[in-house]
Structure 1
Amino acid sequence: MIATANRNMALLALAALVLLPAAAYAHDISQANRAFVEGIDGPAFLPFFYLGAKHMVTGIDHVLYLIGVVFFLHRLKDVVLYVSMFTIGHSLTLMGGVLLGTGANSHIVDAIIGISVAYKAFENMGGFRKIGFTFDPRLAVLAFGLAHGLGLATKLMDLAVSPNGLLVNLIGFNLGVEAGQVIVLAVIVTLLNLWRRKASFGKAAFAANVLLMTAGLVLAGYQFTGYFAS
């Protein structure tokens, strides 16, 4: 039993080491995608839908946050509720940010996203309860959803996206993000449900959230460093 627990811890540590460098570049858009998007002039719903879905599926920081959000949610209606709060938040700032031209420094936004990962992991560990801090977790998910959406909007505005067909393309991108989120959640919830059936879940859950919090703090630290160095 001890050997199994140690092996699980080692695998979790290895996963963290693999994910941390990727998390630092979680919002980067490849040069090929950048050139393709900047070459579009007019409505192009499907390409933007694909880009939004790809950005969510490969956005490690988004994935880490979603893992934290659903980590201890057992009922489907709770998963739907919390994910809906997150979706409302990032849809508002994604759509509104681009249409109103309201951006922010990408390093600061990505740092806040890293903090959101660390915050949720610390909450999962019972950290806030121990220090006597209480805040409605649904409102926290909504608030961090706003930050995640602002990050998406900032990246889109960094591209020379044509104003011709902007609304259609923006809707396509947003719906793509939602489709990617559904795919990611289906995988996460399935794996968590399988893991919860194992005796190791109770013992390793705390360690998993420690690693999740570490990943968030590393991401935030990396982005703050980039901000002050720029």
Structure 2
Amino acid sequence: MTRAKLSRRAAKSSAMALVAAVLIALAGVLHAHEVRPAIADVEVGAERLSMDIRLTAEAMVAGIDLAGLDDTNDSPLSGYYDQLRAMEPDALRAAFDRAWPRIREGLRIEVEGVPVAAQFADLRIPEVGDTDLPRDSFLTVTAALPPGEAPVQVGWLAAYGPLVLRQVGPGENELYTGYLQGGALSDPLPRTGVAQVGALTYFGRYVGLGFTHILPKGLDHILFVLGLFFFALRLRPLLVQISAFTVAHTVTLALAVLEIVTVPAAVVEPLIAASIVYIAVENTLWSRMSPLRTAVVFGFGLLHGLGFASILGEIGLDPARFLGGLIGFNVGVELGQLTILALAYLMVAVWFGDRPWYRARIAVPASLVIAATGGWWLVERTLL
């Protein structure tokens, strides 16, 4: 066998190995127990702090270290975590009460660097539902603040995962939002009124929120963008598709956040999965850009915009800075998408894009993997 043939065979083997690696990686997330940020609304008074936290109580009770973790199945304590998910509210509450002394140590409330002890006030646990999905419980804690007017900082251990912290004031007006990771503390929260954040800082925070919603959290959106990438390597078709997708999801993101358009997640999420299947299957049938493909991508972009709006709706936007937060979040989403495309180009197109067998050996198999994953999600989100 000639050296040229050996070289071509080695290249093809490497390409197929790359597709296989993608398949293995995706197979590992089919039953993912996604780690989501907790959301806390904190009200700071002259003498007392009160905080309502929506969280996954099972993870705290199990003692899972969520720092840098995307899937609780990756934790050695995942078995115990799954048992807790299946517990009735009273049994889980008893387990939480036993774990509370340890959990409380991880809650950080500080005044001028001095810790203030958190006090348990209430825990509301819903009935057992779909044990394949996280169960949201609602924890209320309070703290007696020392005399004076010094502001308060709030956070928790990195092991508890990311925390969206919102300071609310009279009438539940919200003017501060912090996305806290790695055990970080919030900005100083005043005891009268709410913390004011500079416009540039506020904008930057929402850029970060949009980016992390794509990387690493938005696997369904990642697969859709990769489906666009594997359609054709030529620049024009890719730009047309990405532009149509971006314009569409920007429109519905704004409409959904403004509550002009409201579609339940139970409808949106299966349709997003279906969009992944359609785009990926179409990749295996055609490779030429057409007005129909552009229209389909635009339509699916409208769906994905509704998906983006769900996380932004949970976090909330300062009404006085609504436009800045919305634009910042959308910029973060776009940067996430461009990062995906850049990585795909560097990992795939640079090495194999000019090979005559690229479409048959790379684009089509990768699209089939994407379609299979989207198909599983469609079944999971509608029937399971």
With normalisation by structure 2, the TM-score equals 0.50
Query: Hey, what does 2:285 align to over in structure 1?
Result: 126
In structure 2, relative to structure 1, the CA distance for the partners of 1:177 and 1:204 (3 Å cut) is closer
Q: What does residue range 54-69 of structure 1 map to in structure 2 within 5 Å?
A: 54-58=212-216, 59-69=218-228
Query: Hey, what does 2:381 align to over in structure 1?
Result: 223
Tell me which protein shows more helix as a share of its residues. Answer: 1
Distance in 2 (alpha carbons) for counterparts of 1:19 and 1:79: 27
Paired-residue identity, %: 28
Query: Hey, what does 2:175 align to over in structure 1?
Result: 41
Q: Is the 8 A contact 2:248 2:301 kept in 1?
A: yes
In structure 2, relative to structure 1, the CA distance for the partners of 1:168 and 1:12 (3 Å cut) is closer
Secondary structure of the 2:319 match is coil
After TM superposition, which residue ranges in structure 1, 4 or more long, deviate above 6 angstroms? none
Aligned: 1:173 with 2:329: yes
Query: Hey, what does 1:196 align to over in structure 2?
Result: 353
Aligned: 1:82 with 2:82: no
Tell me which protein shows more strand as a share of its residues. Answer: 2
Distance in 2 (alpha carbons) for counterparts of 1:9 and 1:126: 19
In structure 2, relative to structure 1, the CA distance for the partners of 1:35 and 1:101 (3 Å cut) is farther
What are structure 2's unaligned runs of at least 5 residues? 1-8, 39-160, 168-173, 177-198
- Partner amino acid for 1:104? V
1:183 is matched with which residue: 319, 336, 339?
A: 339
Q: Is the 8 A contact 1:103 1:153 kept in 2?
A: no
In structure 2, relative to structure 1, the CA distance for the partners of 1:119 and 1:34 (3 Å cut) is farther
Distance in 1 (alpha carbons) for counterparts of 2:18 and 2:348: 15
Query: Hey, what does 1:18 align to over in structure 2?
Result: 28
Query: Hey, what does 2:262 align to over in structure 1?
Result: 103
Q: Is the 8 A contact 1:45 1:169 kept in 2?
A: yes
1:212 is matched with which residue: 365, 370, 380?
A: 370
Q: What does residue range 87-166 of structure 1 map to in structure 2 within 5 Å?
A: 87-126=246-285, 136-166=292-322
More contact order relative to length (CA 8 Å, sep ≥ 6): 1
Secondary structure of the 1:20 match is coil
Distance in 2 (alpha carbons) for counterparts of 1:61 and 1:176: 17
Q: Is the 8 A contact 1:34 1:159 kept in 2?
A: no
- Partner amino acid for 2:30? L
Q: Which of structures 1 and 2 has the bigger CA Rg?
A: 2
Distance in 2 (alpha carbons) for counterparts of 1:8 and 1:183: 19
1:30 is matched with which residue: 33, 37, 40?
A: 37
Q: Is the 8 A contact 2:233 2:353 kept in 1?
A: no
Q: Tell me how large the CA RMSD over aligned residues is.
A: 3.0
- Partner amino acid for 2:23? A
With normalisation by structure 1, the TM-score equals 0.80
Q: Deviations over 1:156-200 (max 9, x none)?
A: 223354434222211111111112211111112333312334566
What are structure 1's unaligned runs of at least 5 residues? 128-133
